[in-house]
Chains A and B, each alone.
Chain A
Amino acid sequence: MTERPVSPHMQIYRWPLPMLMSILHRITGCALYFGTLLMAWWLTAAGSGPKAYGKVAGFVDSYFGRLVLFGYTWALIHHMLGGIRHLIWDAGRGFSQQEREGLALATGVGSVILTVLLWIVGFLLIGGTR
């Protein structure tokens, strides 16, 4: 009686990776939608003058601000890689079970690696004072 397969219970149901990445694609998309307010705040402050820009810099240079910015850039990159996955599917490729798992894994792992890489290049190599 206890050995037979049972229907998935939500408590023990492991989300398949492609499903998780698909949901994350929509969540990051919605988050980025409102995240552009940050970009508009940053740019309009830069256009307004040193005082307004100082407020943005003060926020962005705090630990919380840095965390938000890292999250924003990660969301951008994750959504971008998720989009590339969709473009591959648009081309009629990558539909097999293995390919879907691989693409989902590449989106998840790749988003973290690429974001860190861009921060290393932008912040450490091109960037100014720290």
Chain B
Amino acid sequence: MARVRGLGSARSGTEHFWRQRLTAVANIPLTIAFVLIVVSLLGRNHAAAQQILGSPLVAIVILLFIGSVTYHMRIGMQVVIEDYVHGEIARLSLLMLNTFFTVVVGLAAAYAIFKLSFGV
């Protein structure tokens, strides 16, 4: 057990697996909260949405959701790419694109929440 708990010979052997599980567990309550927030905002106008999304509790929950989900997405899509794309250049390009995509989506969404919270 001591060998597999993130302390394999390479010192990072189970890091990928571990982070996937860590974010997976974090995603469980965050996903339920996120779905509830999104669905309860249906039909509300911009002012109401702005007020709710910018309130501290909702903003923090969504920020945590964005962080955990985009990290989980990056790891998950990496596995899919490694499974199906065998050409080295294609694979490396897609792995880079994967990181770019998840960082951009995550940062854009997080920036919006900060803007709603601090009203810049």
Contacts and interface: CB of A to CB of B under 8 A. Distances in A.
Interface of A: 26, 29-30, 32-33, 36-37, 39-40, 42-44, 46-47, 49-50, 53-54, 57, 60-61, 69, 73, 76-77, 80, 83-84, 86-87, 90, 115, 118-119, 121-123, 126-130
Interface residues of B, number: 40
A128 B112 contact: no
Contacts of B21: 87, 90
B53 A36 contact: no
A115 B35 CA distance: 9
Contacts of A39: 105, 109
Interface of B: 21, 24-25, 27-28, 31-32, 34-50, 53, 62, 69-70, 73, 76-77, 80, 105, 108-109, 111-113, 115-116
The dominant DSSP class at the B interface is helix
The dominant DSSP class at the A interface is helix
Given A36-B69, A118-B35, A122-B36, A53 B46 contact: yes
B43 A129 contact: yes
B119 to A, nearest CB: 10
Given A40-B105, A53-B46, A128-B43, A46 B35 contact: no
